[in-house]
Amino acid sequence: MKGYVVLISIVAALGGLLFGFDTAVISGTINFIQPYFGLSEAQLGWTVSSLLFGCIAGVFFAGKAGDHYGRKKVLMLAAFLFFLSAIGSASAHSLTWFIAARILGGLAVGVASILSPMYIAELAPAKYRGTLVSLNQLAIVVGILIAFFSNYLLVDTGVNNWRWMLLVMAAPAILLFVSLFFVPESPRWLVGRNQNDAALKVLQKTSGSAFAETELKEIEQTLTRQEASTYRDLLAPKVKPLLFIGIILAVFQQITGINTIMYYAPKIFANIGQSSDSALLQTIAIGGTNLVFTLVAMLLIDRFGRKILIVIGSLGMMLMLAGLSALFFLQETSGSLVLVFILGYIAFFAASLGPALWVVATELFPNRLRSKGMSIAIVSLWIACTIVTIAFPVMLEKLSGGTTFLIFAVICLANLLYVWRYVPETKGKTLEELEADFAAG
């Protein structure tokens, strides 16, 4: 049964892989599309962030469509959109066409960012939910690493190298679309649609026959008001604090600076004198570190819990960014210490806030409000990501690297203090048990 659940989770996590690939692949193309389209620093920020505007729309669409049509079918639509985006952006000859294709990919990323972890959480047994939902984050970082590695391999393919970099995404998009034909629908969505017999069959395969009927009854009890749920219900006294936690934690995940590194790493390295080939090779080291420490998080998150990982990770991220800031202030950026501090920052993020946010976001909200609550939280994430992505190249130009990274270090400290004070621990309980705990206050 564990093998069956893991297999389902891997298929769903392919959405995360495409999410990671699509958001990271742009980093390798920046130094080539900027002269091709004649972009200023500000225009480059808007072009890179164009995908993120699609993400925001995609999250809102995913929440409503996922409730109406099911998690599985909407993920299939996302796979198709990923495919169209890969073809469209790779064939673009005008900036308008390029941005339109990237926005289309953003729609798919937005859908995958909410439905992939939600689908896994709704199928996973409580004992393994943290690890299995973290598979989605693992897939995201694998997608990032594949993007960095393929960018490096394709950099010498001529003037159209950036086109090949973007086209690679079509292959995993096809794989996700085909694989989804072989997995079941979420049992919690099936119960919400009065398909209890189908839900029971899924639960027997995922939780075992001994627990399936009991779990089915718990799900039925928590979904009795499914048809009456609205976004206004998120402001109910017992739910509103959970909504705020979801929003604030999602925003912190982005404004601590992770995607400034993921999107602009080659540009950062180029600005301190690295060649394009060397800069892309160093991004592979970033992707590899991200992967290794995400695996560390998967081993620890159900053992030690979500909260302690985020606290320790935020402390480490703060120290690494402070060190990076000091190097820029001291103008000591020519050595290997810049890479060391960046890799250290990535390691702490990947072992904590990276996967933990997605796990906590799936656990905070009641069954009947999960898609709506996650929609608001993840939209907040993408809005924060968009703002940071647009602002970062201008910040580097106007404020210097030292001031920019010091600002991110202070934000990491604020995240640490907030999580320590307000974020509850959620490990080891079923979604229904968590719902009862939060309702009891």
- Evaluate whether residue 200 is within a structural domain: no
Residue 74 has pLDDT above 90, yes or no: yes
Residue 317 has pLDDT above 80, yes or no: yes
% of the chain residues with pLDDT over 70: 92
- Evaluate whether residue 208 is within a structural domain: no
- Evaluate whether residue 385 is within a structural domain: yes
> CATH number of the domain that 238 lies in?
1.20.1250.20
* Segment 230-274, tens digit of pLDDT: 778 888 888 888 899 999 999 999 899 887 777 666 667 766 666
User: What's 423's DSSP letter?
Assistant: P
For residues 138 and 64, what is the distance between their CA atoms, to the nearest angstrom? Answer: 26
- Evaluate whether residue 275 is within a structural domain: yes
Residue 16 has pLDDT above 80, yes or no: yes
The whole-number pLDDT of residue 229 equals 66
User: Quick check: 259 and 349 in contact, CB under 8 A?
Assistant: no
* Segment 147-204, tens digit of pLDDT: 888 988 898 888 889 999 999 999 999 999 999 999 999 888 888 888 888 888 888 8
The whole-number pLDDT of residue 145 equals 85
Task: Give the chain's domain count.
Answer: 1
List for the chain the helix, strand, coil content (%; round to 5): 85, 0, 15
The whole-number pLDDT of residue 47 equals 86
- Evaluate whether residue 214 is within a structural domain: no
Q: To the nearest whole number, what is the mean pLDDT of the chain?
A: 85
The whole-number pLDDT of residue 26 equals 86
- Evaluate whether residue 238 is within a structural domain: yes
The whole-number pLDDT of residue 271 equals 62
Model confidence band, residue 436 (pLDDT cutoffs 50, 70, 90): confident
The whole-number pLDDT of residue 17 equals 92
Residue partners of 45: CB distance under 8 A and separation at least 6? 389, 390, 391, 392, 393, 394
* Segment 144-157, tens digit of pLDDT: 889 888 988 898 88
* Segment 343-397, tens digit of pLDDT: 999 999 999 998 888 888 888 888 778 878 888 998 898 888 888 877 887 887 7
Enclosing domain of residue 32: 2-183+225-440
- Evaluate whether residue 190 is within a structural domain: no
* Segment 322-358, tens digit of pLDDT: 998 998 888 876 667 888 898 999 999 999 998 888 8
Residue 315 has pLDDT above 90, yes or no: yes
pTM: predicted TM-score of the whole model, two decimal places: 0.75
Residue 80 has pLDDT above 90, yes or no: yes
- Evaluate whether residue 21 is within a structural domain: yes
The total of other beta-carbon atoms located within 10 Å of residue 439's CB is 12
Residue partners of 172: CB distance under 8 A and separation at least 6? 14, 17, 18, 21, 82, 143, 146
Residue 228 has pLDDT above 60, yes or no: no
The whole-number pLDDT of residue 214 equals 81
Mean pLDDT, range 104-115, rounded to an integer: 91
More confident residue, 404 or 279: 404
